[in-house]
Amino acid sequence: MIENSQYMHNPFGIICTVLALSNFGVMLVFFGWNALPMNILQIYAESPGKVVGQIALFCLYSCEYAHVALSFNRLVHIAFPLQGWRFFTKPVTVVIVLLILLFAFLEVIPYFSPEQCYFVFDPTTALWNFADTECGRFCAQYIDFLISVIVLSTILVMDAIALFLFHQHRLNLACDSDKNRSIEKKLFAQSICQMVPICIAIFANHFIGGNQSSDWGLFLSVTLSWGMLHAVDGLVLVALHSKLLEETISMLTKVWTRQFNKLQPSNSLNIE
């Protein structure tokens, strides 16, 4: 999909690739590890299960920081439409990708002490749980929740500033081609559509899930919300940048317009 979209052959497309791979890693854990039979999960819940949980968190945090990088990319290009492309050179993009991976890795360092800190899947309740230790509670409250809220707030602030600048520069943007305006609108649509499920997942995981007593309530608000976040995140990326989807929408629009035009003469006669 990124290969077929010409305007994605740039730093934005590279960061989108990191985001897609991070989402794929999380979904691979869901459909690979979580789908194993219960007896196998109970046998390998200790050491292998803790490693899988650490990998899942690494992919999750990589996804969050990739969203920060995408928002920063949008903000720079809108604030500095002429100089933005000069800033996001290949070396700068490589550094940004490395920073995404570095920050995600720093957040999973505590889990290299699996006796005190771990994040595992419990097959009996179908829930991912942090260790019931001081380290585990610290990671759940501060690393997983607080840092995620800070990251989300940073994204929202950058997108709000970018939207304001986009509105301020609308007269200049009106001189651009329809293609450039379409790309800008598509990037904002991607940001909004991807931020909504993140907000819902964080709220459901840490607020609604904490007040649930039934197994199904916990599963829907914690496990399912986390998986759906990354599934929707990937679907948004495909939907907004898929050439096939654009061609399908264009074809349906032409069909609808043709049918509407056929009805126009009859409507005119009826009115007369």
- Tens-digit pLDDT profile for residues 81-120: 777 778 888 899 999 999 999 999 999 999 999 888 999 8
Phi, psi of 152 (to 5 degrees): -65, -40
Lowest mean pLDDT among 49-63, 138-152, 171-185: 171-185
The answer to whether 161 and 153 have CB atoms below 8 angstroms apart is no
CA distance 250 to 243: 10
Residue 121 in this model has a pLDDT that exceeds 90: no
> Residue 264's pLDDT is what?
53
> Residue 169's pLDDT is what?
65
Mean pLDDT of the chain: 76
- Ranked by mean pLDDT, the top range of 154-158, 229-233, 235-239, 264-268 is 154-158
- Across the range 117-133, mean pLDDT stands at 85
Residue 196 in this model has a pLDDT that exceeds 80: no
Lowest mean pLDDT among 40-54, 81-95, 160-174, 238-252: 238-252
CA distance 205 to 60: 14
Q: What is the pLDDT of residues 223-250, one digit of tens each?
A: 677 777 667 766 666 665 555 455 555 6
- Across the range 1-11, mean pLDDT stands at 57
Lowest mean pLDDT among 26-30, 63-67, 129-133: 26-30
The answer to whether 185 and 167 have CB atoms below 8 angstroms apart is no
Residue whose tokens read 């898929």: 242
> Residue 241's pLDDT is what?
56
The C-alpha R_g of the chain, in whole angstroms, comes to 22
Q: Which helix (H) or strand (E) holds 129?
A: strand 127-130
Regarding predicted confidence, which is higher, 53 or 1? 53
Per-position b or e across 137-154, b if 16+ CB within 10 A of its CB: ebbbeebbeeebeebbee
> Residue 110's pLDDT is what?
94
Q: Which long-range contacts (CB under 8 A, 24 or more apart) does 41-49 make?
A: 41/121, 41/123, 42/123, 45/120, 45/121, 45/122, 45/123, 47/114, 49/120, 49/121
The answer to whether 19 and 237 have CB atoms below 8 angstroms apart is yes
Residue 77 in this model has a pLDDT that exceeds 90: no
- Across the range 150-177, mean pLDDT stands at 75
Going from the C-alpha of 92 to that of each of 61, 69, 106, 224, 237, the distances in angstroms are 21, 12, 21, 36, 23
Residue 128 in this model has a pLDDT that exceeds 80: yes
Residue 75 in this model has a pLDDT that exceeds 80: yes
Q: Which helix (H) or strand (E) holds 64?
A: helix 47-79
What residues form DSSP beta bridges with 121?
A: 128
> Residue 272's pLDDT is what?
44
